[in-house]
Chains A and B, each alone.
Chain A
Amino acid sequence: MSNDNLRIIIIGGGAGGISAASTSKSVAPAASVTVFTEFEDVAYSPCGIPFVLGKEIPDFERLFLQTSEHYASIGIDLRLKTAVTGIDLEGRTVSVGADKFPWDRLIIATGFEYEKPEIPGIDLEGIHYVKNIRRAMEFDKILDSVKKVVVMAATPLGIEIAGNLAHRGLETHLVDEGAWLMSEVADPDIMEPVQKSLEELGTVIHFGVKVLEFRGAGGKLKSVVTTGGEIECDVAVIATHKKPNNRIAREAGVEIGSTGGIMVDDHMRTSVKDVYAAGDCAEVVHGVTDIPIQGLSGSHAYSQGRVAGANAGGVERAYDPVFVPWGMVGGQVQIGGVSLGETLHKALGIPHFVAAATGISRARYYPGVTRIRVKLIVDPETHRVLGAQMSGGEGIKERADFLAFSIKRGARIEDFAWMENVYSPPIGALMEPIALAAQAGLAELAKKK
């Protein structure tokens, strides 16, 4: 088919959808590219919302990366507040109510939705989810008049919200069933500095408790009842799991994988010819285990959108399995890693040993120096590094990116132990903490021989 007449429709205006639209338009300028989104806005950073709520960022306007007019100026037909209600795979149309729009290539980028906990009182006024920027703006105004907040679940979002609301000066309670923060993805020794930092900010953390009920009066939330007691509050934030928003894809007959995400190959092609998927609604392959995973970062969604957009526009592009470098700030502490940590390796039963050490971020005498803990998870047979976790005051993101790149290329613990590193007192210590961890791991191995 000539690209001159190509009609590309994208469902969803988040990172995956917008990057798909921009890439399609750039590789196939003559194609018609239409984006449907049920929301009022596109091209903003939802990941910045907790920091505006915490007054770290002064206003929501800064989170917008592009205007709607920009997309019109590059020839993208952006349909805001227009929810696609169905997909006809046979007739190759999408429906918006009674209206039908034909496509030659379809990209599904419908993102995620929060798992709504089945807890009595979940629909009370005062219970909030943090996702959409307009709702966050409304929530921000509400926060001006409240004193006590309960955040449910110590997930990455829950930790960001709890830290930021405490920073804002609110009495903040973080409630979680686990034994440590982010216990589903991170290890306790890595999270301990974050816990301390959150507590220093004033967050009250309730570990090992389950939320039983949201209790209200006159339809408004008044308290959260847990197995550890009742916590009075004015509002609650639900920060539980994200799940793929796959409803219209599933109803249309597009194949869904075991994670609940839309199954795609490395070209972001779904089970249906000329239909692609990208971002949080899709599942992709994990580079270390080969197992499909879902629900990654905005940068993953953006990259997947670019691949889907290029292929839909007729230019072949492939997406590699993911090694998932991640990082965030919890309280005042940076944490991050690559792939899976110790806990997840244990859960999956992947043979491994742990190499860990604590180093420093700058020369030990230089003002601002902080400790950096590095844990490498290593295959005992091949010595290939499988994953890593880190915490510290600075430089975690760069180390996570470097480790992800190295692990993807099969680096072994010996490679890290004897790596070269930058030494400059204001920005780097004599001994790189990653190298220290690797050397400690090798020393442990030598003892066992």
Chain B
Amino acid sequence: MAFGSWLRKNAEKYLMEAARDSVAARYPEYCAKPYREKGLVPFLWLNVFVPVYLAVPWRVRRKIILFTSYPGGRRPSWKKFD
């Protein structure tokens, strides 16, 4: 698996877990207890990667995401809306 795909797959998984926990805390009446894997790898993603990711300002983070989304950071030509 290419680095971009590996990073995206894992980042998505653990960012989603953290976000779902946060949303569940906001709407506890609608939520059950989710299944969570235990161990060092999930611990590191959730307690190192997620806080570091969220500490970076969105504008910077978006640029990093876009850079790692395309080989060599080369985005194909698409209209921009912002």
Which A residues contact B (CB, under 8 angstroms)? Answer: 177-180, 183-184, 187-189, 191-192, 195, 207-210, 227, 255, 257-260, 263-266, 269, 284-285, 287-292, 318, 320-321, 342-344, 346-351, 408, 410
Contact = CB atoms under 8 A, between A and B. Distances in A.
29 contacts: A179-B32, A180-B24, A180-B31, A183-B34, A184-B16, A191-B30, A208-B32, A208-B33, A255-B71, A258-B68, A258-B69, A258-B70, A259-B69, A260-B5, A265-B76, A265-B78, A287-B81, A289-B62, A290-B66, A290-B82, A291-B65, A321-B78, A321-B79, A344-B16, A347-B19, A348-B15, A349-B15, A349-B56, A350-B58
A191 B53 CA distance: 28
A226 to B, nearest CB: 9
A65 B34 CA distance: 41
Contacts of B5: 258-260
B54 interface: yes
A182 to B, nearest CB: 11
| A interface majority secondary structure | loop
Contacts of B46: none
A349 B53 contact: yes
Contacts of A255: 71
Interface residues of B, number: 40
Contacts of B18: 346-347
Contact of B30 (A188, A260, A263, A342): A188
B33 A187 contact: no
B28 to A, nearest CB: 9
Interface in B55-80: 56, 58, 61-62, 65-66, 68-71, 76-80
A259 B8 contact: yes
Interface in B35-61: 35, 53-54, 56, 58, 61
B41 to A, nearest CB: 16
A28 B4 CA distance: 39
Nearest to B23: A343
A177 B23 contact: no
Contacts, number: 118
Nearest to A185: B16
Given A290-B80, A291-B65, A258 B27 contact: no
A445 to B, nearest CB: 18
Nearest to B4: A258
Contacts of B78: 265-266, 284-285, 321
Contacts of A259: 5, 8, 69
Given A257-B70, A259-B5, A264-B76, 14 more contacts: A178-B34, A179-B20, A180-B24, A180-B31, A183-B20, A189-B30, A207-B33, A258-B70, A259-B8, A266-B79, A320-B79, A343-B19, A346-B23, A348-B15
Nearest to A321: B78
A188 B21 CA distance: 11
A157 to B, nearest CB: 19
Given A180-B30, A260-B5, A263-B76, A321 B66 contact: no
A209 B69 CA distance: 32
Contacts of B32: 179-180, 207-208
A265 B15 contact: no
Contacts of A342: 23
B33 A179 contact: yes
B62 A188 contact: no
Nearest to A354: B26
A179 B58 contact: no
Contact of A210 (B35, B54, B71): B35
A349 B81 contact: no
B15 A347 contact: yes
Contacts of B30: 180, 188-189, 191-192, 195
A-B pairs, top 10 by smallest CB distance, nearest first, are A207-B32, A347-B19, A265-B76, A346-B19, A188-B30, A258-B4, A177-B35, A179-B34, A179-B31, A347-B15
Contacts of A284: 78
B67 to A, nearest CB: 11
A342 B19 CA distance: 9
Looking at A184, A188, A291, which has the most chain B CB atoms within 10 Å of its CB?
Answer: A188
**Which of B19, B32, B54 neighbours the largest number of chain A CB atoms within 10 Å of its CB?**
B32
A338 to B, nearest CB: 13
Interface centre among B8, B19, B58 (most CB of A within 10 A): B19
B30 to A, nearest CB: 4
